Amino acid sequence: MVMITNLQGRLRNTKLPKSHGLFPLFEAVVNSVHSIEERTGDMTEGTIVVEIIRDPQAPLHLDDHDNRRGPDAVGNVIGFKIHDNGVGFTDRNMKSFQTLDSDYKIEKGCRGVGRLLWLKAFETIKIESTYTDGDKNQTRKFIFNSEDGVTEIETEDRHGTPPNSTTVFLKDFKDGYRSYSRKTTESIAKALFEHCLWYFIRDGGAPNIKVTDHDETIDLHNIYDEHMVSSAEKQTIEIRAYKFELTHVRLLNTISTTHNLAYCAASRLVREESINSKIPGLFGRINDGVNDFVYTCYINSEYLDERVRVERTDFDFNDEEGDLFDPDSPRISEVRASILAEVRKYLKDYLEENKAKAKARVESFVADTAPRYRPIIGHIPEEDLYIDPDISDKDLELTLHSHLYKLETELLSEGHDVLGPKEDEEQAQYRSRIKDYLDKVSDMKMSDLAGYVSHRRVIIDMFRKALEADAQGKYAKEEIIHELIMPMGKDTNAIFQDEANLWLVDERLAFHHYLASDKTLKSNPTTGSDSTKEPDLLALSIYDNPHLVSDTSSTPLASIVVVEIKRPMRNDAAEGEDKDPIDQALGYLNRIRKGQMTTASGRPIPQSDQIPGYCYVLCDLTPRMIERCLAHDATPTQDQMGYFFYHKHFKAHVQVISFDQIVKMSEERNRAFFDKLGLPASK
């Protein structure tokens, strides 16, 4: 029975990803290699020339793959001509070409569908071939497209014995594939070389292959000579019932930036898989003492030949269930693991320097930037710390934080079971398990403390930086200082505790009952005031049952804290609440006391008009500010960096703290912690 084949239907069912737009070109070149093999066993006699056809009217747009353009690469690629001196389109080859899924050359891994890939990416294929077929010397021309299949076939006899010559013209590159493909002469030549590298390193070698683009010519053998570090090394391993041939290749890093496993089917590259970071110390470039190189392992096996997709763009692996009809065959995960073990052995001598660099990078980052991770380093598997030394601080911290999170999760899970002895567990084993758990708990808590202290170091440095004048001699507005201490327009219920740095002013402010930043007194649920005045910071602290006052239930003690922040180096202070920040703070306190103070939940506070007040004015001690301090009969601090006094009428303790004093006091309070973590006391 004759089966009818629908070419357009087959094309719809043929898959070619957009990123594989050059695959039709690669297929055509591999066909030329096979054609040369069929004509002569000597590859040195074979010649393949790939001619890049460009549209002179369409400007060339480069992408990340193409960092260099040829001197005459003036337009978009619209096609390729592949010239070879292989056996040509003899009657037998022509019949095979016209037969979809032909089994001709099946021993070479050909599936008879390569020409379908041509039509996926190109509108029309024009072919002209001069060949010798028995005692006939002929030239055959025809056109191949998706509408009509093979058409306009012309065959004519040639006198004499003309040299074999075939040209395949891949014409009218479709936009969807062209836009994703490499565009410059050099990048196309290198992509072709990478795909056909197997033919260069195999026994017998590759024919002479060149890529031309107007006046520019690139010889793939020159690329091979320039980028091969040494001869390829081969080995064969067995995984269950299959043999796998591994070819270890070292290439100078000008071709690729990643180390790969290159899975091949029938000696054709099908899929590359990056193994960067999958082997400890394998990242970036490897140095053999002379050259920096990248590594690729080419893999050939019947196992891969049997599982390659028809289009040869990928494999069909079922790693979850295995092969129902061949239970002895390995899963791809097993294959990968076995190959990586061999790669690790092959590269062992080259990886030690990378491991040392990785270790030094982590140690330096932890010591100088993120000491919070120091306690957990010993709990992270050594292989997981072999990171790329060129990794950014951000990505390195994310990596370490992921390990911290994993350890915390494991610790939480372990904690639910650790306190109960396991069945048949001896006492010594139980004690040892408890000790290991408590040691881990201790290290995790040290990490939390280290993170807390490191955060303070950063905030102090940012605060100091905010006080400096810019290139124009201008100082930051008070809003920047304000945001560092407490985000503006927020209250206790709208922020996490870590977002506020009230400890810069006074450690006791961290233990407030309610705090509002740059919000009106009227909107504050604790003041009972109708005023629309906005203190920079207003805090209410309530202490229930203070231990030193009473051991029984008693009236809550409370305090009101007002913080007023001024612009650095501002020198316009004068008498009056509008100009004097001290009067401003006392004015806020007075308005609050005139209202009926309550807790944030609305519970009344008895005798709220008698609640002690604490006013902080944060500013630079400019001449005008010093005058206002003296006008209030304030006493200078011993270091002359601030003033303080008690206002009897307002029942308020007032502190004028200079910005320099804030930095100084913050560093002094935290110096012991910084020293323990190896952080500088100041920068």
Tokens coding 399: 């990596």
The most distant pair of C-alpha atoms in the chain lies apart, rounded to whole Å, by 123
pLDDT at 457: 73
- Percentage of the chain exceeding pLDDT 70: 72
Kindly tell me if the per-residue pLDDT of 425 is higher than 90: no
pTM given for the model: 0.54
Instruction: Please tell me whether residue 296 adopts helix, strand or coil conformation.
Output: strand
HSE of 679, CA atoms in CB hemisphere, 13 A? 27
pLDDT at 552: 34
Buried-state track 522-540, b at ≥16 Cβ within 10 A, e below 16: eebebbbbebeebbbbbbb
Q: Can you tell me the mean pLDDT for 593-606?
A: 59
Q: What's phi and psi for 670, nearest 5 deg?
A: -105, 0
**Distance, CA of 372 to CA of 405 (rounded, Å):** 13
pLDDT at 555: 38
More confident of the two residues 196 and 277: 196
More confident of the two residues 417 and 551: 417
Per-residue pLDDT band for 292 (boundaries 50, 70, 90) equals confident
Q: Count of CB atoms within 10 A of residue 298's CB?
A: 23
Answer yes or no: are the C-beta atoms of 597 and 545 closer than 8 Å. no
Per-residue pLDDT band for 89 (boundaries 50, 70, 90) equals very high
pLDDT (tens digit, 9 = 90+) per residue, 486-519?
777 666 555 545 567 777 887 777 655 556 666 6
Kindly list the distances between the CA atom of residue 209 and the CA atoms of 68, 75, 206, 299, 394, in Å, as whole numbers in the listed order: 21, 23, 8, 23, 45
pLDDT at 633: 94
pLDDT at 109: 45
pLDDT (tens digit, 9 = 90+) per residue, 525-576?
555 566 666 666 665 554 333 222 323 333 344 678 888 888 888 888 999 8
Per-residue pLDDT band for 130 (boundaries 50, 70, 90) equals very high
The secondary structure of 508-558 as a DSSP string is GGGG-SEEEES--TTT-TTT--------SEEEEEEESS-TTT-SS--PPEE
Q: Can you tell me the mean pLDDT for 72-82?
A: 81
Answer yes or no: are the C-beta atoms of 77 and 180 closer than 8 Å. no
Tokens coding 452: 């807390």
**Distance, CA of 513 to CA of 502 (rounded, Å):** 13
pLDDT at 134: 83
**Distance, CA of 644 to CA of 647 (rounded, Å):** 10
Kindly tell me if the per-residue pLDDT of 107 is higher than 50: no
pLDDT at 28: 93
Among 138, 114, 136, which Cα is nearest to 128's? 138
Buried-state track 471-500, b at ≥16 Cβ within 10 A, e below 16: eeeebbebebbbebbbbeebbbeeeeeeeb
Boundaries of every domain in the chain: 7-217, 228-317+329-354, 393-461, 478-675
**Distance, CA of 235 to CA of 232 (rounded, Å):** 10
pLDDT at 2: 43
Answer yes or no: are the C-beta atoms of 610 and 592 closer than 8 Å. no
Tokens coding 300: 């050939």
More confident of the two residues 73 and 392: 392
Kindly tell me if the per-residue pLDDT of 68 is higher than 50: no
Q: Return the CA Rg of the chain.
A: 39
More confident of the two residues 444 and 645: 645
Q: Can you tell me the mean pLDDT for 80-96?
A: 92
Among 202, 302, 198, which Cα is nearest to 243's? 302
More confident of the two residues 443 and 32: 32
* Average pLDDT over all residues of the chain: 78
pLDDT at 316: 82
pLDDT (tens digit, 9 = 90+) per residue, 333-370?
899 999 999 999 999 888 888 888 888 888 888 877 77
Per-residue pLDDT band for 415 (boundaries 50, 70, 90) equals low
- 119-133, 227-241, 403-417, 615-629: lowest mean pLDDT where? 403-417
Kindly tell me if the per-residue pLDDT of 255 is higher than 70: no
Q: Where are the beta strands (DSSP E) in 547-661?
A: 557-565, 613-619, 635-636, 642-647, 652-658
**Distance, CA of 244 to CA of 237 (rounded, Å):** 5
The residues, any chain, with a CB within 8 Å of residue 118's CB and separated by 6 or more, are 24, 27, 28, 125, 144, 170
Name the H helices within 369-499: 393-418, 427-466, 478-485
pLDDT at 69: 43
Among 258, 260, 248, which Cα is nearest to 198's? 248
CATH code, residues 7-217: 3.30.565.10
pLDDT at 25: 94
More confident of the two residues 256 and 169: 169
pLDDT at 577: 86
pLDDT at 106: 45
Query: Which helix (H) or strand (E) segment is 130 a member of?
Result: strand 122-133
Would you give the distance in Å from CA 299 to the centre of its chain? 28
- 97-106, 227-236, 477-486: lowest mean pLDDT where? 97-106
Among 162, 148, 144, which Cα is nearest to 28's? 144
- 25-39, 227-241, 550-564, 635-649: lowest mean pLDDT where? 550-564
Q: Count of CB atoms within 10 A of residue 442's CB?
A: 11
pLDDT (tens digit, 9 = 90+) per residue, 573-599?
999 888 999 998 898 888 777 765 565
Q: Can you tell me the mean pLDDT for 193-201?
A: 85
Instruction: Determine how β-strand 286-287 pairs with β-strand 268-274.
Output: unpaired
pLDDT at 189: 93
**Burial of 638 per CB tally in 10 Å (0-12, 13-18, 19+):** exposed
The residues, any chain, with a CB within 8 Å of residue 244's CB and separated by 6 or more, are 236, 237, 238, 299, 300, 301, 303, 335, 338, 339
CA terminus-to-terminus distance, the chain: 88
